[in-house]
Amino acid sequence: MSTAQQPRSGFASINGAQIWYDVTGSGHPLVLTHAGIADHRMWDDQVAAFAPHYQVIRWDMRGFGQTQMVAGSYSSRNDLYELLRFLGIERTYLMGCSMGGSTIIDLTLEHPELVAALIPVAAGVNGFEYTGEPPKQFEEVDAACQAGDFERASELEVQVWVDGPQRTPDQVDPHVRDKVRAMNLIALQAPEGLGKHESLAPPAVGRLGEIKVPALLIVGDLDQPDVIRTADLLAAEVPQAQKVVMHGTAHLPNLEQPAEFNRIVLDFLGKLT
């Protein structure tokens, strides 16, 4: 790795929290926001591929990875906004997976001047109503957490999100499952009741037409049905959106097929410059 690609990392003091981040590479900023079952490490393969071309920023949301939850009201979109200000970034590409996807959508609606392009991956949309039956594992996840069996709870969530509804655990790369289980274990054990998350109002679901930048929507064909429906909604409502379906992947396509994922993203970004 060249000197320009050597990562620098630290903590930014933001609204009472110490938000962990790292920065690798140089060029146009590209911020990566993790899923709710992961942390910054879910993007390891992406940093290696993107840092030769872009200044890649990762961060851990409150209660994930190296960022601890603290008491008080907060929003992840505002934490990211303040992190960008801390780093002196005036305009950036944003990529986020799952909960990270909903975070970057909300930030784009609240601060459109900051965003040059948007890449929601298996993204949520705040205010979207899920209509399908919830995965059968969710009740057992709650019971396992209440019993203090966080290992079991993490495995169940890996079944829901990494395996998806169409595969059994033995059909999925064990290294991917192990990595996500370890990342998710940190989040599951974060203290409850400390932070109060403040939602964007009005919510994103009725405002997607306000997004005026190019958007690349990535979703796996083996993901939960409501996630696929959310991607369809984004494709229909965001004016400059294009959707790519990654076959043979579920909720974390960047971990399951990193080379293909990286190619898709670099092709998209390369056409913007």
Q: 């043979």: which residue's tokens?
A: 248
The secondary structure of 208-232 as a DSSP string is: GGG--S-EEEEEETTS-HHHHHHHH
pLDDT number for residue 141: 92
pLDDT for res 5: 61
Q: Which pLDDT value is given to residue 190?
A: 84
| Closest to 16 measured CA to CA, from 79, 63, 60 | 79
How many residues would you count in the chain?
273
Using a pLDDT cut of 90, give the percent of the chain over it. Answer: 89
Strand order in the sheet with 241-246: 8-14, 17-24, 55-59, 29-33, 92-97, 115-121, 215-220, 241-246
pTM value? 0.96
Residue-range domains of the chain with CATH: 3-132+193-270 (3.40.50.1820)
pLDDT confidence of residue 131: 84
Which pLDDT does position 6 carry in this prediction? 65
Report helix, strand or coil for 20: strand
Q: What per-residue confidence (pLDDT) applies to 3?
A: 43
Q: What is the DSSP string of 28-79?
A: SEEEEE--TT--GGGGHHHHHHHTTTSEEEEE--TTBTTB---SEEE-HHHH
What per-residue confidence (pLDDT) applies to 133? 83
> Which pLDDT does position 84 carry in this prediction?
98
Q: Which residues of the chain are modeled with pLDDT < 50?
A: 1-3
Taking only the tens place, the pLDDT of each residue in 212-249 is: 999 999 999 999 999 999 999 999 999 999 999 999 99
Token output for 115: 């965003």
Say what the pLDDT of residue 193 is. 63
Residue type at position 198: E
